[in-house]
Chain A
Amino acid sequence: MSIAMPSIPIIGMELTFQRDMPGFKGAQHFVVEPLVEETQGVFARLRCTDTVYLQHGETLDSLTLLVMSPGYLWREYEIEINEAMVEELGLSGSDDVTLLVIVHPRDPLSASTANLYSPIVVNRRTGLADQFVPSASEREIGWGVRTPFPLDRDD
């Protein structure tokens, strides 16, 4: 019996954001890269291939974020995205969608948080993507910008 290695379904994909990722001017093109060379897994790196500026104009040397598929740690996770985003990303059904959430790594690793309030929504057929900015509050949505990793008995 083998246990399939879990994996983000869009490793290697190039993503084109419809607007700058919030906080990073010019950040619209990204590549989803495996965390460890040639392996797949729960986590991946989201590396920006554009020249990126901060709000005050200074250039960032590089922009890489740690992302994950939320379903691996939060099985019940779901979020309702708005009609404007569905249209903009050309989504025709939930089969078109892959969600990524941005991880805020902390030490120890089990104390990390992830932004489940504002996931990156990807059209996995086309690579069109955007970070969802809800119009409802964190309390209304039920998921926080800093949602702690759920505890595990080995942590």
Chain B
Amino acid sequence: MLTLTREVGQKILIGDDIVLTVVSVSSNGRVKLGIEAPKQVRIDRKEVLDRIRQENMDSADATPEVKVDAAAWASYGARRANARAKPSK
């Protein structure tokens, strides 16, 4: 991993068109970064993407069982949707 030391207000250029700016550093260790990048570049918080990735994989792992119980799922869905249609049953 490349490690660079920067001060508040200084920038790092990644490729031709991505600019990272150190906006501020607080006493409790929080660093605020500014990112300028072309619209097509995705910028995600890594821990958020990791959590979604893991949940997608866990959900896919649990889904083959649904095939066996497709009828049960379908009737559960119909019952819940109908309960919704007349909430004061």
Binding site for B on A (CB under 8 A): 3, 5-6, 19, 21-24, 35-36, 39, 41-43, 45, 54-55, 63-66, 68, 72-73, 75, 84, 87, 102-107, 109-110, 115, 117-118, 131, 133-135, 137, 145-146, 152, 154
Contact = CB atoms under 8 A, between A and B. Distances in A.
A104 B62 contact: yes
Contacts of A43: 73-74, 77
B1 interface: no
B80 interface: yes
A145 B62 CA distance: 15
B53 A41 contact: no
B62 A106 contact: yes
29 contacts: A6-B81, A6-B82, A22-B52, A22-B53, A24-B56, A35-B77, A36-B74, A42-B80, A43-B73, A64-B60, A66-B63, A102-B55, A104-B58, A105-B63, A105-B65, A105-B66, A109-B73, A110-B76, A115-B55, A131-B52, A131-B56, A133-B44, A133-B49, A134-B48, A135-B43, A145-B51, A146-B55, A152-B80, A152-B83
Contacts, number: 116
B37 to A, nearest CB: 11
Given A36-B70, A135-B44, A152-B83, A115 B59 contact: yes
B70 A35 contact: yes
